Chain A
Amino acid sequence: NAGVTQTPKFQVLKTGQSMTLQCAQDMNHNSMYWYRQDPGMGLRLIYYSASEGTTDKGEVPNGYNVSRLNKREFSLRLESAAPSQTSVYFCASSEIQVYEQYFGPGTRLTVT
């Protein structure tokens, strides 16, 4: 079991460029999440997907879009990157009966 995988590990973008962060899980979980982590602010929820075919906004959704491609995959898209989106992005998955979340290794994104 690979658990939760994320690609890429690192990315540098120029302001205005777009990119998609990929996430996949092999634990057959229904729920998947995207967080960003900034110093002193903990994890902030960007979007989540309670099940295949549904997505909902979290705390900080502006500037992002998501796609729940199938049960395994949940991608995060930045259409026009801004320096304020410089952060570490984590994908996570969970299931009600499993209780806790499982996290991927993160993507470190820098927007210049």
Chain B
Amino acid sequence: AQSVTQLDSQVPVFEEAPVELRCNYSSSVSVYLFWYVQYPNQGLQLLLKYLSGSTLVKGINGFEAEFNKSQTSFHLRKPSVHISDTAEYFCAVRVFGNFNKFYFGSGTKLNVKP
């Protein structure tokens, strides 16, 4: 069975500091990987995705993520965060052979402090 684990439920960080949000997944088959962001009282919007090719993917708002197949991880990073990055971030997986289902992590709340 597939599962997605986001190890940190909350990450406090000061403005302009770097941040890493961790995501690990379990799957015996190939996957597509996604990071979504949810601002307060809004729906989810796509931040970035890994489909194939280069393991380092860049997304919107200066975020990037690295796919590590051996560690089954897809950690999200930003070198310098802004107050406006305060939001909840969700990692998601779509599995080859079962394209109708997406599996979501429990979310990480990023709180950027001045």
Contacts and interface: CB of A to CB of B under 8 A. Distances in A.
Given A31-B100, A43-B90, A50-B100, A100 B106 contact: no
B94 A105 contact: no
Given A42-B90, A42-B106, A105 B99 contact: no
Contacts of B107: 40, 42
- Which of A41, A43, A50, A103 has its CB near the most chain B CB atoms (within 10 A)? A43
B100 A105 contact: no
Given A41-B106, A42-B90, A42-B106, A105 B43 contact: yes
Interface of B: 6, 9, 32, 34, 36, 42-46, 49, 51, 90, 92, 94, 99-102, 104-107
Interface of A: 4, 31, 33, 40-43, 45, 48, 50, 56, 90, 92, 94, 96, 99-101, 103-106
A66 to B, nearest CB: 14
A45 B102 CA distance: 9
Contact of A96 (B44, B49, B99): B99
A96 B99 CA distance: 7
B30 to A, nearest CB: 13
Given A50-B100, A105-B42, 10 more contacts: A42-B6, A42-B106, A43-B44, A43-B90, A43-B104, A101-B92, A101-B102, A103-B43, A103-B45, A105-B43
Contacts of B99: 96
A98 to B, nearest CB: 10
Contacts of B43: 4, 90, 103-106
Contact of A100 (B9, B49, B104): B49
A99 B51 CA distance: 8
Given A40-B106, A42-B90, A42-B107, A48 B101 contact: yes
